Structure 1
């Protein structure tokens, strides 16, 4: 069996480094998904008939994507170090699936942007109204999480001046420029969508290079093993 050439060894260790970072990223995504699902502040979002479909679907997607990224990263690292064509082939297959899902999710997100915004806004407004009616502490905590995260207060301008128990603490001047939460939700999707799209495209390009390197390394390993 012939040894790999210098360039092929370079690809091998680049593959290992790439997949180590990919595995760490998957671990982070998986941990964030579990935190959002199990944290007492957001756990209430999954309970009750008015649970936000978009939110809990997104959280479960995060958990599943993180777990898959960890598996793919592990296969890539082991396949590169062990010079295993089988593991590298599985790595290519799973990475191709993730790439296809990412492309599909991107198209879905861009084509359903208004629906996503409307669903989130409707859930927020319903939660706010239910809290004002019942005074439920879980709803109060949910509102605090949403309003602190978006740096907003209430569904209307009047709520900014009157609702102090769930809104982020602000001084008198800051209250004058505080947005309502429907405005903040709409602004997040309008202003951040191109950033999210750019990040998605970058990740997609990295995945394509990962697939190319895995096939190059796999072919090189098989070729070296055929040489007696």
Structure 2
């Protein structure tokens, strides 16, 4: 069981590192979109954009908090129990996202449209980074879908020669789960599997710590 314990601790450490990094990025990007001169007006005028920004900030904070619970708690049953509860909530939230995929796709499209407009008008570097991640993850390119002709072509996957045609993000995003872009689906389901694996490891460590504690009591 010692090997199993070390493996689970390693998985929890990996979970902490990944969620800390992603949570920090999401939180930082959310704050930039909220307070940057290029995006502040859009935040105030567009409810869909404001909702997207708030989701980024809240998700970043939640991921950082969960990562903290998954860090130095590997020998603390109470903290592992808290982590277990938080993981269950995250898994339930991911299931809820998939169940509401059509509604979320429409809201996501509104958020994307505002990002597209902001970058077209200002060339904001953070917005450019967001669009680059979205275009590569969803395998789409802007509103037109033709690399080189679209206003955000610089953030789209590289194409060469005559192979410049891609799906328009305007058509992909509303049906993102139905269209099933490979990378997007890999991230979505991969995260679900990773959460379940981390939850299982937390349960195993709780049981091992409980047995260890009982054996210590039995030795007296």
Q: Fold-level match, TM-score > 0.5?
A: yes
2:95 paired with 1:107: yes
Q: Do the aligned partners of residues 54 and 17 (structure 1) sit closer, same or farther apart at CA in structure 2, a change above 3 Å counting?
A: same
Number of residue equivalences:
202
Q: Alpha-carbon deviation of 1:148? A: 5.7
TM-score relative to the length of structure 1: 0.69
Distance in 2 (CA, whole Å) between partners of 1:222 and 1:59 is 42
Question: Aligned runs of 1:23-172 on 2, under 5 Å?
Answer: 23-38=13-28, 44-47=32-35, 48=40, 49=43, 50=46, 51-54=49-52, 56-76=54-74, 79=75, 87-88=76-77, 90-129=78-117, 135-138=121-124, 142-143=127-128, 145-147=130-132, 149-151=134-136, 152-156=140-144, 161=149, 163=151, 166-168=154-156, 170-172=159-161
TM-score of the two chains, using structure 2 as the length reference: 0.71
The 3-state SS of whatever aligns with 1:73 is coil
Which gives a bigger RCO, structure 1 or 2 (Cα 8 Å, sep 6+)? 1
Quote the residue 1:178 is aligned against. 166
- The counterpart of 2:215, out of the listed 204, 216, 223, is 223
| 3-state SS, counterpart of residue 105 of structure 1 | helix
Q: Please, which runs of 5 or more residues in structure 1 have no aligned partner?
A: 1-9, 80-86
Structure 2: 5+ residue stretches without partners: none
Root-mean-square deviation (CA), in Å?
3.4
Residues 96 and 141 of structure 1: CA distance in aligned 2, closer, same or farther (over 3 Å): closer
> SS of the counterpart of 2:70?
helix
- Write 1 or 2 for the structure with the bigger share of helix: 1
Q: Deviations over 1:170-207 (max 9, x none)?
A: 434122x2221223435653314476235414531441
Computing the radius of gyration from Cα coordinates, the structure with the larger value is: 1
For the 8 Å contact 1:54–1:116, the answer to whether it is kept is no
